[in-house]
């Protein structure tokens, strides 16, 4: 459906979200608050299901990952160590005329003729502020002068006479506001962390931040969690929780919000030098695709590939087909200095950019990053507390290496640690000394673990699932006439309501009583919606729009009015195929659970 990719489709999804109670604008009664959203009854269930499936697959179904739930506000030094205080910023620009703010890299490039002015004056006042206006080809100069006049008028010059008009051809420039042609300010960094004060005094020492990501809490609790869970590297810690970013330009519905939820795993692994010392060789990916069950001799590349593939498998398991996803490997200049590789998992949202062939390129759902030992090393340096681990196997293996191998591994480890320390601004002498100590520690079985980080957004995933589920098709009404319907084709695993139970008629107490009995059998195990209002066809339509995969109708057959064979059976209808089958009430729960797997 070509329409699936248009802005019109997105509008339909946004309006359905409001109409059905998936997502509302936050503070709507007060005109809304840009970048904040509330999830209504169906949206709240959808998000819970996303988080539950993620949590289950990431920790409950594994031996090597445990969970954490940390506080949102943490010690401000944590954000210095992580680099967020100094570098977590986007470049922003403001329109010189309207003051509207844009993210510098998101300004649509413009071409045309720029009309520049060195200032403006009237009988009493003069402004030397430089200003220019970009006009698209074919627009008369008068429109540029009109905008410039407005600019100088706002600087307090009544009836300004423009000074020094000059024109210049401009190609693909991001220096002008696409909405009015006005010049933008020079780009300047804007820190995205939301600030607050902890305690009664609003002083500089009391500044704290709402966390911009959940990951850092995992690093700072790494040692505690490792001890209490009796885990050994390789193992992971995962967390789901709110994060906050003062995004310059929230947009695309919930895609870029200022408050959102993340689902993050930090999976700690041995450095490759330790693997090589223990096993003689580091296993590296030989082919693409899932590398299978984890092995002790895997280096960071195998683990990275493993987590990328695990994450794709997760998305497919909740109903996002592989062809709707994109595996994007960040290029050298896009990678953070400490990252060895990052794969972004993109979903082809209707608002994604298109490539030259007209295909949707996708927008980020999740990043899977190989972050070296950067994070734990930073917290070790900033807190003064050790984040190294002791590896019995490494300690045992090292003395058995020949001198050449010992020297080779020590040197490689020394160089990596030195490079890290120099990058963080340590003096060369201190860096070498520290790196030598680190290499020495390695030979005794100690190191700072490396990490692979799959980091996903709950809200972006909810939006992807909503976009993916939205379909329009034709279904017969009561009289068999085809009418168009909207169906949210959610996978049963994440559908907000799993099954709807309907008595055929509301005014027949026996039907209502039986239907409520069926509802009560299912309710302890599945989210059930009981609905007796209106014609049965209308009730189906309501559930189709909510994305309920199964409908159960209790009719006169159920009551035994048409013979013993059908007594205590119900009609089970599937949303997608609209197929109906008769199922015994006693078998119903198992039949539904079977379809949900």
**Where would I find the beta strands (DSSP E) of 88-206?**
89-94, 101-103, 110-117, 119-121, 126-127, 131-135, 161-163, 166-173, 188-191, 194-197
Give the Cα separation of 575 and 544 in Å (integer): 6
Q: Among the candidate windows 69-77, 359-367, 491-499, 507-515, which touches ligand ATP by CB under 6 A? A: 359-367
Nearer residue to ligand ATP within complex by CB, 314 or 413: 314
Q: How far is CA 441 from CA 273, 406, 538, in A?
A: 12, 13, 71
The CB-nearest residue to ligand ATP is 457
Give the Cα separation of 438 and 418 in Å (integer): 9
Shortest distance in whole angstroms from residue 262 CB to ligand ATP: 5
Shortest distance in whole angstroms from residue 369 CB to ligand ATP: 8
Nearest by Cα to 582 from 594, 597, 567:
567
Give the Cα separation of 207 and 201 in Å (integer): 10
Nearer residue to ligand ATP within complex by CB, 113 or 339: 339
Q: Among the candidate windows 146-154, 380-388, 453-461, 487-495, which touches ligand ATP by CB under 6 A? A: 453-461
User: Any idea what DSSP says for residue 104?
Assistant: G
Shortest distance in whole angstroms from residue 247 CB to ligand ATP: 5
Give the Cα separation of 312 and 305 in Å (integer): 11
Q: Does 365 bind ligand ATP (CB under 6 A)?
A: yes
Q: Which of 257, 352, 377, 569 touches ligand ATP (CB under 6 A)?
A: 257
Site for ligand ATP in 87-126 (CB under 6 A): none
Nearer residue to ligand ATP within complex by CB, 250 or 551: 250
Give the Cα separation of 399 and 383 in Å (integer): 32
Q: Does 362 bind ligand ATP (CB under 6 A)?
A: no
The residue behind tokens 């009109």 is: 146
User: Any idea what DSSP says for residue 523?
Assistant: T
Torsion from C-alpha of 157, 163, 169, 173, nearest 10 degrees: -30
Q: Is 223 helix (H, G, I), strand (E, B) or coil?
A: helix
User: Any idea what DSSP says for residue 373?
Assistant: T
Nearer residue to ligand ATP within complex by CB, 213 or 391: 213
Nearest by Cα to 172 from 114, 112, 92, 116:
112
Q: How far is CA 297 from CA 396, 451, 506, in A?
A: 16, 16, 65
Give the Cα separation of 328 and 349 in Å (integer): 15
Q: How far is CA 529 from CA 172, 500, 523, in A?
A: 54, 5, 9
Nearer residue to ligand ATP within complex by CB, 213 or 276: 213
Q: Which of 449, 454, 457, 496 touches ligand ATP (CB under 6 A)?
A: 457
Nearer residue to ligand ATP within complex by CB, 143 or 246: 246
Nearer residue to ligand ATP within complex by CB, 367 or 551: 367
Q: Among the candidate windows 108-116, 196-204, 285-293, 455-463, which touches ligand ATP by CB under 6 A? A: 455-463
Shortest distance in whole angstroms from residue 224 CB to ligand ATP: 24
User: Any idea what DSSP says for residue 372?
Assistant: T
Backbone angles phi and psi of 466, in degrees to 5: -65, -45
Q: Which of 66, 114, 456, 499 touches ligand ATP (CB under 6 A)?
A: 456
Q: Which of 455, 468, 553, 558 touches ligand ATP (CB under 6 A)?
A: 455
Q: Does 260 bind ligand ATP (CB under 6 A)?
A: yes
Walk across the sheet containing 166-173 and list its strands: 131-135, 110-117, 166-173
Q: Among the candidate windows 166-174, 360-368, 385-393, 550-558, which touches ligand ATP by CB under 6 A? A: 360-368
Give the Cα separation of 52 and 48 in Å (integer): 6
Q: Does 310 bind ligand ATP (CB under 6 A)?
A: no
Nearer residue to ligand ATP within complex by CB, 256 or 270: 256
Q: Which of 47, 245, 371, 498 touches ligand ATP (CB under 6 A)?
A: 245
Q: Is 87 helix (H, G, I), strand (E, B) or coil?
A: helix
Give the Cα separation of 85 and 374 in Å (integer): 16
Q: Does 312 bind ligand ATP (CB under 6 A)?
A: no
Nearer residue to ligand ATP within complex by CB, 247 or 272: 247
Q: Does 364 bind ligand ATP (CB under 6 A)?
A: yes
Nearer residue to ligand ATP within complex by CB, 45 or 366: 366
Nearer residue to ligand ATP within complex by CB, 364 or 408: 364
Q: Which of 247, 272, 391, 557 touches ligand ATP (CB under 6 A)?
A: 247
Shortest distance in whole angstroms from residue 13 CB to ligand ATP: 16
Q: Which of 375, 459, 544, 555 touches ligand ATP (CB under 6 A)?
A: 459
Q: Does 367 bind ligand ATP (CB under 6 A)?
A: yes
Q: Does 366 bind ligand ATP (CB under 6 A)?
A: yes
Nearest by Cα to 472 from 483, 464, 461:
483
Shortest distance in whole angstroms from residue 347 CB to ligand ATP: 10
| Stretch 195-214: interaction string toward ligand ATP, x if CB under 6 A | ------------------x-
Binding site for ligand ATP (CB under 6 A): 213, 245, 247, 256-257, 260, 262, 364-367, 455-457, 459-460
């Amino acid at each position: 459906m070509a329409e699936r990719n248009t802005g019109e489709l997105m509008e339909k999804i946004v309006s359905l979200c409001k109409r059905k109670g998936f997502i509302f604008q936050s503070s709507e009664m007060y005109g809304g608050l840009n970048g904040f959203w509330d999830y209504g009854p169906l949206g709240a269930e959808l998000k819970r299901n996303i988080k539950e499936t993620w949590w289950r697959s990431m920790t409950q179904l594994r031996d090597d990952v445990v969970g954490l739930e940390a506080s949102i506000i943490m010690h401000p030094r944590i954000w210095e160590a992580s680099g967020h205080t100094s570098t977590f910023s986007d470049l922003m620009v403001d329109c010189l005329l309207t003051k509207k703010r844009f993210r510098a890299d998101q300004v649509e490039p413009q071409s045309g003729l720029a009309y520049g002015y060195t200032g403006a004056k009237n009988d009493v006042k003069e402004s030397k502020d430089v200003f220019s206006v970009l006009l698209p080809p074919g627009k008369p100069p008068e429109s540029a002068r009109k905008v410039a006049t407005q600019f100088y008028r706002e600087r307090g010059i009544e009836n300004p006479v423009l000074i020094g008009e000059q024109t210049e051809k401009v190609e693909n420039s991001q220096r002008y506001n696409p909405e009015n042609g006005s010049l933008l300010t020079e780009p300047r960094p804007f820190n995205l962390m939301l600030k607050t004060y902890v305690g009664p005094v609003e002083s500089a020492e009391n500044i704290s931040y709402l966390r911009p990501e959940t990951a850092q809490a995992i690093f700072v609790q790494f040692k505690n969690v490792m001890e209490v869970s009796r885990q050994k590297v390789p193992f992971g810690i995962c967390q789901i929780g709110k994060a906050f970013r003062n995004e310059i330009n929230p947009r695309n519905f919930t895609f870029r919000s200022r408050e959102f939820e993340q689902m993050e795993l930090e999976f700690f692994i041995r450095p490759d030098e330790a693997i090589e010392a223990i096993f003689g060789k580091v296993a590296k990916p030989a082919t693409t695709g899932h590398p299978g069950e984890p092995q002790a001799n895997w280096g960071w590349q195998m683990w990275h590939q493993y987590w990328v593939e695990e994450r794709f498998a997760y998305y497919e398991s909740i109903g996002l087909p592989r062809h709707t996803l994109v595996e994007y490997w960040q290029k050298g200049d896009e990678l953070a200095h400490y990252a060895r590789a990052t794969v972004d998992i993109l979903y082809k949202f209707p608002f994604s950019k298109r490539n030259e062939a007209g295909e949707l390129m996708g927008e980020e759902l999740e990043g899977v990053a190989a972050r070296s030992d950067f994070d734990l090393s930073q917290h070790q340096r900033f807190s003064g507390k050790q984040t190294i681990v002791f590896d019995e196997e490494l300690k045992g293996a090292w003395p058995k290496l020949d001198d050449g191998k010992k020297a080779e591994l020590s040197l490689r480890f020394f160089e990596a640690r030195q490079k890290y320390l120099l990058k963080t601004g340590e003096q060369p002498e201190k860096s070498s000394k520290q790196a030598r100590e680190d290499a020495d520690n390695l030979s005794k079985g100690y190191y700072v673990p490396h990490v692979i980080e799959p980091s996903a957004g709950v809200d972006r995933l909810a939006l992807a699932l909503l976009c993916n589920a939205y379909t329009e098709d034709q279904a017969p009404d009561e009289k068999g006439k085809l009418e168009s319907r909207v169906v949210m084709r959610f996978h049963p695993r994440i559908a907000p309501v799993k099954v709807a139970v309907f008595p055929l008629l509301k005014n027949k107490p026996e039907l209502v009583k039986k239907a409520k009995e069926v509802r009560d059998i299912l309710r302890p195990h599945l989210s059930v919606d009981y609905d007796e209002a209106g014609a049965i066809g209308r009730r189906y339509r309501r559930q189709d729009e909510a994305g309920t995969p199964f409908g159960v109708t209790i009719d006169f057959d159920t009551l035994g009015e048409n013979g013993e064979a059908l007594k205590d059976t119900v009609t089970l209808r599937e949303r997608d195929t609209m197929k109906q089958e008769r199922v015994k009430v006693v078998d119903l729960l198992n039949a539904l659970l079977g379809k949900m797997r």
